[in-house]
A and B are shown apart, each in its own frame.
Chain A
């Protein structure tokens, strides 16, 4: 049923509005990051600047060593901008650690829920679904007190562990439908051939669920890369900050203007936006599985 005539035109128009809405902030961050402070302030009614520059990126990526033309006069640069690489590395360590742990532990749990037909496993699953709703701010107050009393503030492992516990329920909810969809015959055949349940899990279910594991891993990485509250509250020293914490620390800093701000915003969103673009199929499958089929 292809729409024709006026409805077709209206649909093109509506699509145009949708695309405009999606792209407007992206265009803003790109244009904002590619111009000097001077045009951003002086030409406050122009969309396309009269002058372009890469200096905003240069100053961030050289950690303030090369200031470029537009920051020549600048006497002050926030320290957090200078620790960009450290924050990037921290974010990467945390996100990879969290992804590995959530997918690993999640797969073990999801198998028992989906395959072992245990009554209490269903309860565990329901607890996981409920746990997904706990707002981070609720957990972070007691966790701050606990982590502080254990002397583990300003460490990466406390952040990894907290995020893993926080995301594990969601990982399980995503994985269960993938495991449940693998035909029971395959596992039964392996059992008849003498595999233990664990061998069946390891050799049959896991390899066959590779797309599900990939989907879960991408989503876990993205959420961990985006997480602000947990590292913000647990880590206050610059050397342990993650990228979102650095970005948040620039809010309200009167010495940082939008050109530099947009450059660091662009750098912080690129990894996960590229991931979403490249692995769109997995992201879509994982999100759908985690929301609907759980």
Chain B
């Protein structure tokens, strides 16, 4: 069949409907472009353009008054200067990093442990846990936050009820209302919702490890721990790195659980970067320019992880 000169996609469609062969086929390149038009258009409109525009906003004075007039005066990097001087921004960044390190560390360890546990198909409890593990993935993040705000409530919370009933505490614990524990309380709620994904990915990788490897090592007298260290863990490494990068960049932007459980409080003890950006931009006095600057700093940090992720993936495939 002859490859004809590029023509419109409409021709290719008509050729399909008439089932008449070789009448008007697009070249591969032209077909590729035609099939990607909606994607490229949307990516430019919803992703690329806003990113550039956010950069523009971050360098101008943009508040409600400027929005109404439609004129954004240049302000000489003042947004960034004020951002770097704001102790709340520094605190939000510090909390974000602490939160992320905690979440990622706990999730990687738990994901490996739980995936190994679920892999024990001969235990009925493992089969039951495998059935239930995905439930949190179905819970909307904001709903998850509200459920945990009920869990943590000082006076009426479910967690305190359980602990009272089992005799573990005599006085109610203020899980989310204590500035020293608020961020950790949010972290637990976040881990509850996002852990299934990590477990699932590790579990899928575990099932790809040939049984023969373990059997041969057992014959050679390797203990369970030795087999884990020298067979399982190295083979899980690529997946672990993927989880590490993915979760790091998503945890950096944690928002819903903060909104529902602590709103950055008590005081500003659990302020994180996304919450700081949101409050700055969308609550009075609506400093949109400075919010864009803050968002840019966040994007920059996440971008570093994204590039690491792409490099890793494509090095492995190539």
Closest-CB distance, A221 to chain B (whole angstroms): 11
Q: Are A168 and B43 in contact (CB under 8 A)?
A: yes
Query: Does B141 sit at the interface, judged by CB under 8 A?
Result: yes
Q: Are B54 and A124 in contact (CB under 8 A)?
A: no
* In-complex Cβ contact of B46 among A120, A133, A141, A143 (8 A): A143
What separation, in Å, do the CA atoms of A117 and B83 have in the docked complex?
A: 46
Chain B residues numbered 130-161 whose CB sits less than 8 Å from any CB in chain A: 132-151, 153, 155-156, 158-161
Q: Are B31 and A1 in contact (CB under 8 A)?
A: no
On chain B, the number of residues with a Cβ less than 8 Å from chain A's Cβ atoms is 117
* With known contacts A29-B147, A112-B32, A248-B259, A135–B299 Cβ distance under 8 A: yes
Which of B84-92, B121-129, B175-183 binds A? Answer: B121-129
Closest to A15 in B: B125
Query: Does A77 sit at the interface, judged by CB under 8 A?
Result: no
Q: Are A22 and B39 in contact (CB under 8 A)?
A: no
On chain A, the number of residues with a Cβ less than 8 Å from chain B's Cβ atoms is 113
Q: How many residue pairs bridge A and B at CB < 8 Å?
A: 332
B residues in contact with A252, CB < 8 Å? 263
Query: Does A89 sit at the interface, judged by CB under 8 A?
Result: no
* With known contacts A47-B161, A225-B140, A288-B204, A248–B134 Cβ distance under 8 A: no
Query: Does A139 sit at the interface, judged by CB under 8 A?
Result: yes
Q: Are B53 and A142 in contact (CB under 8 A)?
A: yes
Closest to B126 in A: A15
Which 10 pairs show the lowest CB-CB distances between chains A and B?
Answer: A165-B46, A194-B21, A135-B253, A15-B125, A273-B138, A276-B138, A133-B306, A28-B158, A142-B53, A142-B50
A-to-B contact residues, CB < 8 Å: 1-3, 8, 11-12, 14-16, 18-19, 21-29, 31-32, 40-41, 44-47, 104-106, 108-109, 111-112, 116-118, 120-121, 124, 126-139, 141-146, 148-149, 161-162, 164-166, 168-169, 172, 191, 194-199, 201-202, 222, 225-226, 228-229, 233, 243-244, 247-248, 250-252, 258, 261-262, 265, 268-269, 272-277, 280, 283-284, 287-288, 291-292, 294
B-to-A contact residues, CB < 8 Å: 1, 9, 12-13, 15-16, 21-22, 25-26, 28-29, 31-32, 35-36, 38-40, 42-43, 45-47, 49-51, 53-54, 57, 62, 67, 70, 113-114, 117, 120, 122-123, 125-126, 128-129, 132-151, 153, 155-156, 158-162, 164-165, 172, 192, 197, 200-201, 204-205, 214-215, 218, 238-239, 242-243, 246, 249, 252-253, 255-256, 259-260, 263, 274, 277-278, 281-282, 288, 291-292, 295-296, 298-299, 302-303, 305-307, 309-310, 313-314
